[in-house]
Homo-oligomer: A and B are copies of this chain.
Amino acid sequence: MPRKRATIREVAQATGLSPAAVSYALRGLQVSEETMERVRAAAAELGYEADPIARALASGRSGMIGLLCGSLEDLWQQSLAVGISRGLREKERYALILDAVGDPARERILAQQLRDQRVDGLIVQPIDPAASFWPELCESVPVVAIGDSLVGTAGEVVFDNRRGVTLALEHLRTLGHRKVAILTSTRASTPDRPADVHVTAEADRLGLDIEVTTAPHELAGATSVARDILAAKRPSAVFCFADSIAYGVYAAAKELEMSIPRDVSVMGYDDHPMSGLLTPGLTTVDWDIDGIVRAAVRLIAAATDGAPRRRRVVQAPTLRERGSVARLP
């Protein structure tokens, strides 16, 4: 880290070339092998490194991939973010991670912000896939959407949430549960998310008596919501739309001295690494996070490296039984 950055002009002077030539040379364009070598040497000598801001302004590209998360309080999304970040790094690309903290309005602002940063591509896990700004955004930058109902221009990684919900609720039904509390994630608005719609539809079909409540992902908040539900409603099972929320149920059960699954059964959704560590292990719906990460990275890389075939990767869920759901008599 030299005391003062070298500019491209200085490299040009050092080599006796024009700044333009240096610019081309450093990117391996339009110049002879020989000058390229000469320029590289001079650049190394001077400790020159291109200024990303100036570059972005001039070229309209930043070399970064934006990652817009619905809510990083969800531990699973944290894992996803970390995974994607790592995956991109392996492809020599950098991720710019922003967190909408569950707020659709914030989602709009941050999406705009990322575009303003000239990201080459955008991976989003939309809170509100129906929001009106997505189409416009998709026009100005390749988008890979991760989720359920979609917006991607560069591809999509689709969770079959309908199937996931079916898997979960059928499991509960088969084991004899009828009165099921549903805990879904809090959000500032967007009431009719497709995932939620699936839940009520499936519950109807299976003849389950459900009550849907929203809960935050963050442990303390989830615990407090779960405490109320467990104490007041006495459901035989709780289905949480994220493992993070299920952790809150575990905590609440502990506080209330209820035993899982004897006093109440719990199901999660996502399969976060910690879920297998709890006692009892959390029965959940597993989404193959590695597969999702790989798919998302591959799609965005393809889109930005100019292989523009838009693809749709569908993730199938798996039921992962671990012991947090009891069979009712």
Interface residues of A (CB under 8 A from B): 1, 3, 49, 51-54, 56-57, 62, 72-73, 78, 82, 85-86, 89, 94, 96-99, 101, 108, 112-113, 116-118, 133, 136-137, 219-220, 247, 250-251, 254, 273-274, 276-279
Which B residues are in CB contact (< 8 Å) with A54? 57
Q: CB distance B254 to A53 under 8 Å?
A: no
Smallest CB-CB separation from A82: which chain B residue? B72
**Contacts A/B (CB < 8 Å), 10 sampled:** A1-B108, A1-B137, A53-B53, A53-B116, A78-B82, A89-B101, A220-B273, A251-B276, A251-B277, A277-B278
| A279 touching B276, Cβ below 8 Å | no
- Bound CA–CA A78/B278 (angstroms): 20
Q: Closest chain B residue to A139 by CB distance? A: B3
Cβ of A112 and Cβ of B1 under 8 Å apart?
yes
- Assess the A136–B51 pair: CB atoms within 8 A: no
Complex CA–CA separation, A133 to B1 (angstroms): 7
Given A54-B57, A57-B53, A116-B52, is A277 in contact with B247 using a C-beta cutoff of 8 Å? yes
A contact face: mostly helix, strand, loop, or mixed: helix
Most B CB atoms within 10 A — which of A49, A51, A72, A112?
A72
CB distance from A207 to the nearest CB of B (A): 33
Closest beta carbon of chain B to A62's beta carbon, Å: 8
Residues on B with beta carbons closer than 8 Å to the beta carbon of A250: 277
Known: A52-B113, A250-B277, A278-B278. 16 other contacts (CB 8 A): A1-B108, A49-B112, A52-B117, A53-B53, A53-B56, A53-B62, A53-B116, A54-B57, A72-B82, A78-B78, A89-B101, A94-B98, A220-B273, A251-B276, A251-B277, A254-B277
The residue on B at minimum CB distance from A50 is B116
A86 touches B57 (CB 8 A): no
Does B96 contact A53, Cβ atoms closer than 8 Å? no
A116 and B1 in contact (CB under 8 A), knowing A274-B274, A277-B278? no
| Most chain B CB inside 10 Å of its own CB: which residue of A3, A62, A273 | A273
B51/A116 in contact, CB under 8 A: yes
CB-based closest 4 A-B pairs:
A279-B279, A219-B273, A1-B133, A53-B57
Contacts of A49 in B (CB 8 A): 112, 116
Most chain B Cβ neighbours within 10 Å, of A116, A251, A276, A277: A277
Residue of B nearest to A86 (CB): B101
- Separation of A113 and B274 alpha carbons in the complex (Å): 33
